[in-house]
Chain A
Amino acid sequence: MAGAAAPLMEADRAHPFWLAVPLGLFFLVFFAVPLVLLLWVSLQGEAGVSLVHYTRFLQDGLGPRVLGATLRIGAEVTLFCLLLAYPLAMVFRAAPGWGKGLITLIVLLPLLTSVVVRTFAWIVVLGRQGVVNATLQSLGLIDLPLRLLYTEGGLVAALVQVQMPLMFLPLATALGRIDPNLEDASAALGAGIWRTFLRVVVPLSLPGALAGCILTFAAAVTAFITQSLVGGGQLLLMPGFIYQQAITLQNWPFAAAISIVFLAAVLAVLAAIGALARLARGAAYG
């Protein structure tokens, strides 16, 4: 932070601290209190406080299975996003001005397009009469259309596309900050292009990559719409589980318990990635 070492300027007193109070109060009333109430409702049993809804979540393994599938799909999506967005960010870094503009447009357009629209596109691609099946059939590779919608593979593909901009943007920023002289120095000292990449570029870009992982993972596990439209009813994930209990069955206490477990699990994973990010920053700039 550049500001941390600078002397206290008149400018820092130009904006009095009480300006933060309205939003602070707004968050207290409409954000903190509801979340506390959510926890409280999840602890309400037949007679007073109990963990009955949490034990029900663990019962016959349904809850843990759904949570496990959700986290697994989140991890798969994050890894595929990293695998595709990293090379794209490398190309972006080396591209001339017009190339940068074109890549920015292609990356930002899905980010700004409605999630329903983006997901809808995948229904068109993966459906029985969709692009993939039509191509395979015209090539004579299959006779009957494959079932691609409502499968885990289809869902991961759709989520990778929907969330990839969130991975690309911090990566492109991190890679853009790396001094190209470092790679020249590495090459001049005899390192090949792979060695330079793995030993110089990757370590320096790690903080950006982990920031991208945090955003991508959080978005992928909570992407209710994409999960419900491409994953379908057979593939139950945590957001769908909350929706089913809260809206379809109107069982608020159980839905609240599922929400609390999901919230805790997501925060735990993000905290783990965050701890890795601090380690990486220490290693890269230590």
Chain B
Amino acid sequence: MAEAPRPAALQVALSTRLFQWSGGGLAAIALILLAAPTLIVVIVSFTSGLSLRFPPPGYSLRWYYALAEAWQLHFAAGNSLVVACLSTGISLLLGVSAALAIGRSRRPVARVLDQVFLSPLILPGLAFGLASLIFFTAIGLPVSPATLVLGHTVICVPYVVRNTIAALAQLDPALIDSSLSLGASRLTTFRRITLPLLAPGIASGGFICFMASFDNIPVSLFLRDAATDMLPIRMWQDLEGKLDVTIAAASTVLILATIALAIAMERIAGISRRLG
């Protein structure tokens, strides 16, 4: 006859089991909650019906044909792409040089600048959008694609600064020291040593910066002119008016493009290790 486990041991086993089950259960809920909505959008985009019913009554590509005809969405996507490319370019230029200057600096002003450059991340976007519009109106600059790029740069450059500083913190300063003491100029050292070593961090910062600009609504709402429609605003307004299945198809295309870009960036820069 097997010996019954002592009550204390049983209690320990039960409480361990409870810990693992409750933790595992919540983690499973979290994973389902994170993954399910995206999957559902992708599935619904292939519906043959007219509504967002799930599960769909049947499957077809009709909404992708509708998307191919939706010239307003194409036009808006083109604008968003151009603005995102320009603000990412300016962000990289300004952000990387600022990060190099303050990343390893011990001046108190560098710590202050670090906080200032990152502060747009926690600022309510609509408040900044309104502030920018008031500013451009005050200096007599009408809203245009140029004001859009300037506004986007302010809210997207923090991602470049943050990622470049993080990469700089992991760079062994002895490498730069050796290069300089062996007679290489600062510029050569930067081009041949620093930049290649920082490139993955800069690339992931640029990637997130690009996505943040491409996806921005709060600042674009204030700084675009009537002729410059932006993709997320177009999609948002389409959804406010009617629940259009074409948006599901557009969403699926965006999700696939994001995954493709993310995989490319992962190959180049290993971004998943740098997003935290």
Q: Which chain A residues have a beta carbon within 8 Å of chain B's beta carbons? A: 2-4, 6, 9-12, 14-20, 22-24, 26-27, 30-31, 33-35, 37-38, 41, 83-88, 90-91, 103-118, 120-125, 127, 129-131, 134, 160-161, 164-165, 169-170, 172-173, 192-194, 197, 214-215, 218, 221-222, 224-225, 228-229, 238-239, 242-243, 246-247, 252, 255-256, 259-260, 262-263, 266, 270
Contacts and interface: CB of A to CB of B under 8 A. Distances in A.
A242 B124 CA distance: 10
B27 A26 contact: no
Nearest to B150: A30
Contacts of A23: 94-95, 97-98, 117, 157, 161
B240 A228 contact: yes
Interface of B: 12, 15-16, 19, 22-27, 29-31, 33-38, 40-41, 44, 51-55, 93-95, 97-98, 100-107, 110, 113, 116-117, 120-128, 130-132, 134-135, 138, 150-151, 153-154, 157, 161, 169, 173-177, 180-181, 186, 189-190, 194, 211, 214-215, 217-218, 221-222, 232, 235-236, 239-240, 243, 247-248, 251, 254-255, 258-259, 262, 272, 275-276
Q: Which of A19, A23, A255: most chain B CB closer than 10 A?
A: A23
Contacts of A125: 36-37, 40, 54
Contacts of A130: 52, 54
B169 A38 contact: no
A257 B52 CA distance: 40
Contacts of A121: 37-38, 40-41, 251
29 contacts: A11-B104, A12-B105, A14-B176, A14-B180, A14-B194, A19-B97, A20-B97, A26-B154, A34-B132, A37-B138, A38-B127, A84-B27, A84-B30, A87-B24, A87-B26, A105-B272, A106-B31, A109-B34, A113-B254, A124-B44, A124-B248, A125-B37, A161-B37, A192-B15, A192-B16, A225-B217, A225-B232, A242-B127, A252-B130
Contacts of A259: 124, 126-127, 130-131
Given A12-B105, A23-B95, A129 B53 contact: yes
Contact of A262 (B104, B117, B127): B127
A3 B165 CA distance: 12
Nearest to B31: A106
Contacts of A12: 104-106, 173
A53 B150 CA distance: 29
A113 B258 contact: yes
Contacts of B124: 221-222, 238-239, 242, 259, 262-263, 266
B154 A124 contact: no
A114 B37 CA distance: 13
Contacts of B105: 12, 17
Contact of B106 (A4, A117, A247): A4
A124 B176 CA distance: 54
Q: Which of A31, A172, A242: most chain B CB closer than 10 A?
A: A31
Given A11-B104, A16-B101, A104 B16 contact: no
A280 to B, nearest CB: 18
A230 B116 CA distance: 32
Q: Which of B126, B190, B232: most chain A CB closer than 10 A?
A: B126
B251 A117 contact: yes
Given A172-B276, A192-B16, A197-B19, A161 B33 contact: yes
A223 B249 CA distance: 24
B258 A112 contact: yes
B135 A224 contact: no
B123 to A, nearest CB: 7
Given A19-B97, A34-B134, A107-B34, A243 B275 contact: no
Contacts of B41: 117, 120-121, 124
A218 B94 CA distance: 25
Given A16-B101, A30-B132, 20 more contacts: A10-B176, A10-B181, A15-B104, A22-B97, A27-B116, A31-B154, A84-B30, A84-B33, A87-B27, A91-B23, A114-B232, A117-B255, A120-B248, A124-B52, A127-B52, A129-B53, A194-B15, A228-B240, A239-B124, A247-B221
Q: Which of A2, A14, A193: most chain B CB closer than 10 A?
A: A14
A22 B31 CA distance: 43
Contacts of B34: 106-107, 109-110, 161, 164-165
Contacts of A85: 30
Nearest to A40: B134
A4 B107 CA distance: 11
B26 A88 contact: yes
Nearest to B147: A30
